[in-house]
Amino acid sequence: MKIGVVGCGAVGSYYGAKLARAGREVYFLLRSDYEAVRRKGLLVKSPEGDFRVQPKCARTPEEIGVCDLVMVGLKTTANGEFARLLTPLVGERTAVLTLQNGLGNEEQLAALFGVEKVMGGLCFVCLNRLEPGVVAHLAHGIIVMGEHQRWLEPRTHDIAGVIRHSGVPCKVTDNLARAHWEKLVWNIPFNGLGVAGAAGYEAVMSGVVPGGAKLGPCMTTDKLLAEPRWEQLLRELMLEVIAAAKGLGMEVPESAADKNIERTRTMGAYKASTLLDFERGQALELESLFLEPLRRARGAGVAMPRLAAMCEVLKMLDSAGKSRGYAS
């Protein structure tokens, strides 16, 4: 199986490295990290044991050519590049598996390549990219994957088997849409409050950041869980997400809130991906992670007042980053 990895940040690099270590033919499409990975390979630091691999490196998709499997780990802010980056990799029998955050990514890929080629995967993992060619794996790692708007295919189980053989736990779901909302139960509150919390509790509750207000520090998962009012807000956001899922016809149990909170306590001072983007001065994944779920909930007649207020704060912070050119 020839595998192309597009979007070699923490997620793409980690799962691509695991597949390469298992002996698969893995190509990394790289930009700024190209020289570092070409010369020294990719180092994964993990409590399960550090390892280094030497994947095949390319600067352009044309150098890679058509693949059997394309794994997409791009930030969703780069989805406008799908056609340019992926078209040379996709042939008649290629499977495109997006591991991106949030909602709407599969739909964008299907519009380009057809529903029959598109799969989605949800990554439940704690990862950080430390420097070019170095990724830290902190905890977890399971992938939950399924077909986009289609029944499970033989290739679904084949690809899941390839992933499992690399040492990554992988489950197959027959309801990818529900799996997305199950992950949003964690992603929306911890990613959102990790950044929006810098504007202060009152701002996040009201959706208004006073003019001239100074930002505090961003909030790691342990800080959000250490103070009762932030933990309560986390829980309220989770319950809004669960209510939205139910409004859209997907049964996500309310117990998912408690399970996600207790699981997160084991992560320590973890920085969610949106927090890292903000600290690096990069665009936030507003559309896929926050605004699209809010739109779908409203379309189903489900109010999400806590999410709506937090979105206003995140939009303000993201606009401030745009005005200064995301200086980093």
Cα separation, 239 vs 190, whole angstroms: 13
Which pair of structure tokens corresponds to residue 129?
């990219």
Q: Compute how many other C-beta atoms are within 10 angstroms of the C-beta atom of residue 63.
A: 12
Q: What are phi and psi of 233, to 5 degrees?
A: -65, -40
Under DSSP, is residue 105 helix (H, G, I), strand (E, B) or coil?
helix
Residue 43 contacts residue 50 (beta carbons within 8 Å): yes
Phi-psi region of 186 (alpha: psi -120 to 50; beta: other; left: phi over 0): alpha
Rounded to the nearest integer, the mean pLDDT of the chain is 95
Predicted pLDDT of residue 328: 37
Greatest distance between any 2 Cα atoms in the chain? 57
pLDDT above 90 covers what percent of the chain? 93
Residue 204 contacts residue 235 (beta carbons within 8 Å): no
Q: Which residues lie below 8 Å from residue 37, measured CB to CB, with a gap of 6+?
A: 8, 28, 30, 55, 57, 132, 133
Residue 1 contacts residue 117 (beta carbons within 8 Å): no
Cα separation, 157 vs 171, whole angstroms: 9
pLDDT band for 326, please (50, 70, 90 cuts).
very low
Q: For the chain, give every domain's residue range.
A: 2-174, 179-323
Cα separation, 103 vs 172, whole angstroms: 18
Cα separation, 200 vs 46, whole angstroms: 34
Residue 222 contacts residue 194 (beta carbons within 8 Å): no
Residue 249 pLDDT greater than 50, yes or no: yes
Cα separation, 76 vs 99, whole angstroms: 10
Q: Compute how many other C-beta atoms are within 10 angstroms of the C-beta atom of residue 223.
A: 15
Per-residue model confidence as pLDDT tens digits over 86-136? 999 999 999 999 999 999 999 999 999 999 999 999 999 999 999 999 999
Torsion sign across C-alpha atoms 93, 98, 102, 105: negative
Q: Which of 81, 77, 108, 102 is nearest to 318 (CA)?
A: 77
Residue 323 pLDDT greater than 70, yes or no: no
pLDDT band for 320, please (50, 70, 90 cuts).
confident
For the domain made up of 179-323, give the CATH fold.
N-(1-d-carboxylethyl)-l-norvaline Dehydrogenase; domain 2 (1.10.1040)
Is 183 an active-site residue? Answer: yes
For the domain made up of 2-174, give the CATH fold.
Rossmann fold (3.40.50)
Which pair of structure tokens corresponds to residue 71?
């794994």
The pLDDT of 40-45, averaged and rounded, is: 97
Q: Which residues lie below 8 Å from residue 114, measured CB to CB, with a gap of 6+?
A: none
Predicted pLDDT of residue 5: 98
pLDDT band for 327, please (50, 70, 90 cuts).
very low
Cα separation, 145 vs 69, whole angstroms: 14
Q: CB-based burial of residue 131 (10 Å sphere; 0-12 exposed, 13-18 middle, 19+ buried)?
A: exposed
Cα separation, 235 vs 79, whole angstroms: 30
Q: Compute how many other C-beta atoms are within 10 angstroms of the C-beta atom of residue 316.
A: 17
- Which of 183, 246, 259, 322 is flagged as catalytic? 183
The pLDDT of 244-259, averaged and rounded, is: 96
Torsion of CA 306, 312, 313, 318, to 10 degrees: 140
Predicted pLDDT of residue 238: 98
Residue 322 pLDDT greater than 80, yes or no: no
pLDDT band for 324, please (50, 70, 90 cuts).
low
Predicted pLDDT of residue 211: 81
Cα separation, 142 vs 126, whole angstroms: 10
